[in-house]
Amino acid sequence: MSIHEVFMPALSSTMTEGKIVSWVKSPGDKVEKGETVVVVESDKADMDVETFYEGFLAHIIVEAGETAPVGSAIAFIAETEAEIEQAKSLANSSGVAATTTSAPEPIPATASVATPALASQNGSNHKEGRLVVSPRARKLAKELKVDLTTLQGSGPHGRIVAEDVEALSNKGKQPATAPVAPPAPVPTSAPVASPAPRTPAPTPVVAAVPGQIVPLTTFQNAVVRNMVATISVPVFRVGYTITTDGLDKLYKQIKSKGVTMTALLAKAVAVTLQKHPLLNASYSDQGIVYHSDINISVAVAMDDGGLITPVLQNADAVDIYSLSRTWKSLVERARAKQLQPQEYNSGTFTLSNLGMFGVDKFDAILPPGQGSILAIGASRPQVVATPDGLFAVRQQMQVNITSDHRIIYGAHAAAFLQDLAKLIETNPQSLTM
């Protein structure tokens, strides 16, 4: 007989605390080994957390909506029903860690980032016959009284997403009945995107009221920590003007095939980095870390605040069409907060594009652990002097690179920008090869 603590897991290398999105199980419910018991919001994503133990959820210490430090107890699991009251007394009286009367269990009762439990979030390590449900779909099913076992999931590996629940609920309504809007999603939860392109339900933003203090979200707190960490890094910035007529023409030709401008820019940067490995490197106390892969992070603003940087891995080697499909999937899952850690923390160089907002130029803050970030402004028609002494109108964009001056110097950054401009201006068609 024994009572086990459920600990707040570390779901990413930067996570210091987690927020409980929802408890899948209620106190007194039977839990099986490997079964999801709680959904936790880390600084980057929502994750289903599974238990390593079989028994009963005896007592919840940290309720939904509350936060707790990584490694702290958030609940108790009792192996028998008879121990449920004992677990409650233990939590209410001393609050100390539960002890086991049987052989000690050194493994915490929750899955961590390295366990197969998190890998199954997007379908990998999927167990045949197991019901896989996104956090929001599970919550929606409970509210709409939909039996999840009757659904065929449209997500990866048959994962049930919110749209599946809504579709079944709407199907059962009488035609004469006015359609009922589905409940607004909880700010920390969103549906998992299926392989087919679809727009995830927007996460509501808390309206600011004059005089009110609105707490930062977990995402926003993570951004704060990262930005503060960069203050001690000596950086410098270099700007460059790039003519984009050829790139714009290419984009119009292949846009119908699903190619995005973001993927084109990421590909151009990645190919250029092949000639400038120092710009793809990062600083460490031991020296310069030259990365074996060219992984391009691209900044994406979250609907409920905060910033995340999905990573286009091996962007120099992947064809532009596959790269565009990957980017579309990454953005959907990023805004649904369902990225796996390696999909947002493996970047070696970052792009930040505000051109779609009409921004001419800006300086970006260097992300921790990287050597450079490129800020991209809008492409606009400009009157320029041609080599033959005439005037012409050209589409031009301003780019500014921010680099870690401990390992990268001005001449290195300037040479990189020069080669990037040469590729975009004279040979953009090579990006499709």
* Residues with catalytic function: 405
- Return phi, psi of residue 89, to 5°: -65, -40
- Compute CA 151 distance to the chain's CA centroid, rounded to the nearest angstrom: 27
Q: Is 290 exposed, middle or buried (0-12, 13-18, 19+ CB in 10 A)?
A: exposed
Query: To 5 degrees, how large is the angle CA 43–CA 279–CA 363?
Result: 60
Judge contact between 307 and 301, C-beta under 8 A: yes
* Of 358, 350, 244, 240, residue with least CA distance to 294: 350
Cα distance between residue 426 and residue 191, in whole Å: 43
Task: Classify strands 73-78 and 55-60 as parallel, antiparallel or unpaired.
Answer: antiparallel
Task: Report the SS3 class of residue 67.
Answer: strand
* Of 407, 416, 417, 415, residue with least CA distance to 234: 407
Token pair of 251 as six digits: 């984009």
Token pair of 175 as six digits: 């035609």
Judge contact between 41 and 337, C-beta under 8 A: yes
Task: Report the SS3 class of residue 300.
Answer: strand
Taking phi over 0 as left and psi of -120 to 50 as alpha, with beta for the rest, 298 belongs to beta
Instruction: Give the neighbor-by-neighbor strand order of the sheet with 296-298.
Output: 235-243, 391-404, 372-385, 349-353, 296-298, 311-312
Query: What are the beta bridge partners of residue 393?
Result: 383
SS3 content of the chain, % helix, strand, coil (to 5): 30, 25, 45
Cα distance between residue 431 and residue 433, in whole Å: 6
End-to-end CA separation in angstroms for the chain: 64
